[in-house]
Amino acid sequence: MTQVNDTLNDRIALTEKIVDQQLAAARRIGNNLSDAASTIATTQANEALDRTARTQQALSSLTPLDFAKEWAEYVVDAAERSVLYLDVLRQRGDNYLAHEAAGLPPVLDFQYETIIDGRSLPRPVNYSLLRILPPEGTVIDDEKRPFVVIDPRAGHGSGIGGMKPMSQVGVALRAGHACYFVVFRPKPEPGQTLADVCEAEGAFLNEIAERHPKAPRPVVIGNCQGGWASMLLAASNPEKIGAVAISGAPLSYWSGPEGRSPMRYSAGLNGGIVPALFSSDLGNGLFDGSALVTNFENMSPGNTWWKKYYNLYAKVDTEGPRFLDFERWWSGFFFMNEAEIRWIVEDLFVGNKLGTGTSRLGHKNIDLRDIECPVIVFASVGDNITPPQQALNWIVDLYGSAENIKARGQRIIYIVHQSIGHLGIFVSAKVAGREHDAIAGTIEAIEALAPGLYELVLEDGPERLHISLEPRTIDDIKAIDAGPDDNAAFAAVARYSQLGASFYELAVRPLVRSVVTPESADRYFKSAWPRVQRVAVSDENPLVAPVAGIAEQVRENRHPVSKDNAFFALQNVWADAIENALDGWRDVNDAMKELTFLSIYTTPWMQAVGKEELRRRAAESDNTETDLRARTEVQEILARVDKGGFAEGVVRILIILAQARGNVRRTRLARSAQILTRSAPFDTLSEQARAHLIHEQSVIVELEREQALLTLPDLIKDPAERKRAIDLAIEIAGPTREEIDPAALIALQEVEEAFAAAKPAKPVAVAAAE
């Protein structure tokens, strides 16, 4: 009886624990939802209420005659706008059909030439390398570091990184850099894998190196899903890349703020990999990228279903060209092989393997710590598709501490925007002119940066933008994600996704494939809603075709209403209310999805499955960093603390000063880079040799600062050379002694004292002439 009571008590206690966990999660999500609702109330809703009050006041002040006049003007304008609005949608449909008939070429705003067609490679792929032709008047210096842009293959076509003059491509060209673009065709080559794609991109880099033999290694820029592709490329070809800059790129898919990152719960609620496998089978081996586009659109129903169309309707006289230009890219739907989408879902979306060092590409294990070049990460708090946690937490998972980053000689820089949305990170001209311009300028000087973790900080000054690199620790990144540790829940999703895939392949796939034909797959693709809505409102629809002629007549006899019209203002108020209602519904729906996910995957038995999966992965990987001093390469570096010459001594002094100062202005970094690349003896060093030199001296200063100071005289023995080293340090840190940061000035005095305290060098004996 006692045993029964104990068992019953244990079950009651377990039930209470589960309930407490669910209630705690519900409270956290409720608080987040409340905060979001409060934000909306204090910004959008209050503004809407203010506009409503002003509109009501304007209506009540109208005389009956003015009331009737404004109403009549509004009705005529609304009818005309409706025709023009429908005509723009018709043009979008026609553009979609024409773009598809042309093979969905890149939507670049620049002229280009094809350098390599991936179909000609030993392992054919649907990727190609383009060289962007500079606009008239733009001078390109082929000895400058080339830029290579890899766009996202996430359902859309390529070109988003260069679809505006002020863009990532525009920034690079304006600075005189040769610019290349990696694009892809709508359908993959038969049997193509992501390993083949990565190998092809490596071949592209070889071609670029041959075209620019005197230039430093290229910068690779990756947007969104192109970000992880860029990181794969850098990890697989560490000797070919000079820097990687990734924007809005998810690398840690299990991460995200609780209550504000709904996309990460989709796999657990939708069946993991199974929907992608089922869709690929219905497509006769091809996965339709329009499904990914639909997922993105569902993230923001207020904008997807209402705002972007209402903006077009309200400003149809001027908004049409901008709307059609963006839709040209947004309406291009691309495909993947099953092998490609399977790797993306299993290793990234569900498995989170790339960011934890357990991913395999072909027969090769991919470890992002193998990347030797600097990595720049651009994320935004306003991005609900790739929140900062997903963009940055791979650093926490792989390195564990900033000291490990330094020990490996790596330089990781991140910048976090506070408001810009996902597409704005690499589409917005304002961002391109500020953040991307700052990133591009920083890359030029980054060779002189000591290894470590930094935040790129931008401060608007009265005359110019101030750019500095602030040293950070892993705790600074962890502080961005202050939520509970929910890795076990997502690991359970990954495990059940594997089991679901096995069941599907055994029991369901043979039946599905037996009824699918190329014709049925084509009908399946054409029935996708993103395609249907565009074809339905195009000249292919006989009911829509006459709209073009009617719209032309309306434009010739347009009667636009005044923006002061009270009814037009009332229309805007009504539109805002609809958008706010849709966004409110989205927030509640997202919260319910999150609660559902947590109610399933935070139970003790699911946690047990997840923890077992995490233990299994830990046994297969080698992500644990040993004590720094115990690392063989660190011991070898510290053993050479008193070895070297003038170059080692100067670099050591610069690192001592930078460590004391605590941050690095871009102007100071640029001076340092100029000296370390153009003055003797540094001008004879290769890019890799300079990076190795800075890495070694950084480890020495970080772990043995006192010995680093004491042994400086052993590196620079000649008094004249010591003075030259001090002068170089002042030129970089100042450029005059009076302008040096106080903390750095103290460190410089320590260096001078170390030189002064050293014993004079023994004169070199000269043999007497015989």
Tell me: the pLDDT tens digits for 295-319?
888 888 999 999 999 999 999 999 9
Instruction: Give the mean pLDDT of 631-635.
Output: 83
Instruction: Give the mean pLDDT of 269-294.
Output: 95
Angle at 312 between CA 306 and CA 314, to 5 degrees: 95
Angle at 90 between CA 85 and CA 91, to 5 degrees: 100
Tell me: the pLDDT tens digits for 76-90?
999 999 999 999 999
Q: Which of 99-103, 114-118, 430-434, 620-624 has the least mean pLDDT? A: 620-624
CB-neighbour burial class of residue 519 (10 A; exposed 0-12, middle 13-18, buried 19+): exposed
3-state secondary structure of 659: helix
Question: Which residues have CB under 8 Å from 748's CB, separation 6+?
Answer: 653, 657, 726, 729, 730, 733, 737, 740
Would you give the end-to-end CA distance of the chain in angstroms?
A: 110
The helix or strand, by DSSP H or E, that contains position 116, with its residue range, turns out to be strand 112-117
3-state secondary structure of 81: helix
CB-neighbour burial class of residue 363 (10 A; exposed 0-12, middle 13-18, buried 19+): exposed
CA nearest neighbour of 246 among 412, 112, 472, 134:
412
pLDDT at 733: 85
pLDDT at 766: 41
3-state secondary structure of 422: coil
Q: What order of strands is seen across the sheet that includes strand 465-471?
A: 112-117, 127-132, 179-184, 147-150, 219-223, 243-247, 375-380, 411-417, 452-460, 465-471, 664-665
High-pLDDT (> 90) share of the chain, %: 56
pLDDT at 465: 76
Distance CA 47, CA 736 (A): 52
Q: Which two three-digit tokens encode residue 554?
A: 């309306």
pLDDT at 388: 92
CA nearest neighbour of 655 among 458, 413, 374, 411:
411
User: What are the Cα distances from residue 211, in Å, to 168, 207, 221, 241, 526?
Assistant: 21, 6, 19, 15, 42
Where do we find the tokens 């470890």? 367
Distance CA 712, CA 708 (A): 6
pLDDT band at 45 (very low <50, low <70, confident <90, very high): low
Distance CA 695, CA 683 (A): 18
Per domain, the residue ranges of the chain are 64-101+290-332+528-557, 112-259+339-494, 629-757
HEC per residue, 215-246 = CCCCEEEEECHHHHHHHHHHHHCCCCCCEEEE
Burial 2-20 (b: 16+ CB within 10 A, else e): eeeeeeeeeeeeeeeeeee
Where do we find the tokens 């000649």? 718
Domain 112-259+339-494 indexed as CATH 3.40.50.1820: yes
Question: Which residues have CB under 8 Å from 279's CB, separation 6+?
Answer: 287, 288, 291
pLDDT above 50 for 38: no
Instruction: Give the mean pLDDT of 511-537.
Output: 96
- Bridge partners, residue 359, by sequence: 366
Q: How distant is the alpha carbon of residue 622 from its chain centre?
A: 26
Distance CA 155, CA 164 (A): 20
- Bridge partners, residue 459, by sequence: 466
Mean residue pLDDT of the chain comes to 86
Instruction: Give the mean pLDDT of 172-182.
Output: 93
Q: How many CB atoms lie within 10 A of CB 350?
A: 26
Tell me: the pLDDT tens digits for 446-459?
878 889 999 998 88
pLDDT at 204: 97
Tell me: the pLDDT tens digits for 664-710?
877 777 888 888 888 888 888 888 888 889 889 999 998 899 999 99
Paired sense of beta strands 219-223 and 286-288, if any: unpaired
pLDDT above 80 for 711: yes
pLDDT at 64: 79
Q: Which two three-digit tokens encode residue 187?
A: 């359908």
Tell me: the pLDDT tens digits for 485-512?
789 999 999 999 999 999 999 999 999 9
pLDDT at 395: 95
- Bridge partners, residue 243, by sequence: 219
3-state secondary structure of 664: strand
pLDDT above 50 for 770: no
Long-range contact set of residues 728-737: C-beta below 8 Å, sequence gap at least 24: 728/650, 728/675, 728/679, 729/650, 729/653, 729/654, 729/657, 731/671, 731/675, 732/654, 732/668, 732/671, 732/672, 732/675, 733/654, 733/657, 733/661, 733/668, 735/671
User: What are the Cα distances from residue 192, in Å, to 116, 289, 650?
Assistant: 17, 16, 50
Higher pLDDT, 564 or 282: 282
pLDDT above 70 for 625: no
Tell me: the pLDDT tens digits for 147-171?
999 988 888 888 888 888 888 888 8
Q: Which of 35-39, 199-203, 295-299, 507-511 has the least mean pLDDT? A: 35-39
pLDDT at 60: 66
Separate counts of helices (H) and strands (E) for the chain = 34, 15
Residue 749 has, within 13 A of its CA and on its CB side, a CA count of 8
The helix or strand, by DSSP H or E, that contains position 466, with its residue range, turns out to be strand 465-471
**Of the ranges 49-53, 446-450, 458-462, the best mean pLDDT one:** 446-450
Letter for the amino acid at 267?
A
